A and B are shown apart, each in its own frame.
Chain A
Amino acid sequence: DVKVTQSSRYLVKRTGEKVFLECVQDMDHENMFWYRQDPGLGLRLIYFSYDVKMKEKGDIPEGYSVSREKKERFSLILESASTNQTSMYLCASSLSMRGNTEAFFGQGTRLTVV
């Protein structure tokens, strides 16, 4: 089974802190994604990566950056956390661009910025 693991289930950070959310997948997937889930808004794509060191902006990249130094690891960085970044953050991975495949999600990180 594919396993996508996010480093924390729950995080509480202060406004202005730099926050790192880590995600690791164990199935050699090429694509990795970061989404955030908010009530009534569904899942919105923040950033994605289709290869090591490659990244592309999603629909809501402002205030975030990402890093993918190794194929299995994709990190989301909140440069200066703000209260409007309080949300559920979900990492996902999928096999490749060459065919239609589903994305597999981690368990999520509930981030609260105070």
Chain B
Amino acid sequence: DQQVKQNSPSLSVQEGRISILNCDYTNSMFDYFLWYKKYPAEGPTFLISISSIKDKNEDGRFTVFLNKSAKHLSLHIVPSQPGDSAVYFCAASARGGAQKLVFGQGTRLTINP
């Protein structure tokens, strides 16, 4: 059973516009959420995170929004740049245990010049 879902396999956005990537989760025990970016043939790199006590976290061009009642989070990138073209994974973990991360399937973002 997929506990973290990214329902859009791909997204294409024009340079300078906003990119919005979405993620849904089913496990109500998740209390920490992360976004990772991955280029081909490289490991994922951490982008931004949010704790369940918040509903928004910003870091430069990247903002993550969390809607706990809907079990939904989104990543906004504005303005989008060509270097943002990559696969984006959302991940979640539950407090306690080894805080293993559960990942979504990923969304391939392409920024067009």
Residues of A in contact with B (beta carbons under 8 Å apart)? 4, 9, 31, 33, 35, 40-45, 48-50, 56, 58, 90, 92, 94, 97, 100-108, 110
Contact = CB atoms under 8 A, between A and B. Distances in A.
A42 B34 contact: no
Interface of B: 4, 6, 9, 31-32, 34, 36, 41-46, 49, 51, 89, 91, 93, 95-106
Given A100-B51, A102-B34, A102-B49, A45 B43 contact: no
A105 B44 contact: yes
Given A42-B104, A42-B105, A97-B96, A102 B46 contact: yes
B93 A40 contact: no
Contacts of B104: 42
Given A42-B106, A43-B103, A104 B46 contact: yes
Contacts, number: 69
A45 B49 contact: no
B51 A45 contact: no
A40 B41 contact: no
A101 B51 CA distance: 10
Contacts of A40: 9, 105
A100 B93 contact: yes
A94 B99 contact: yes
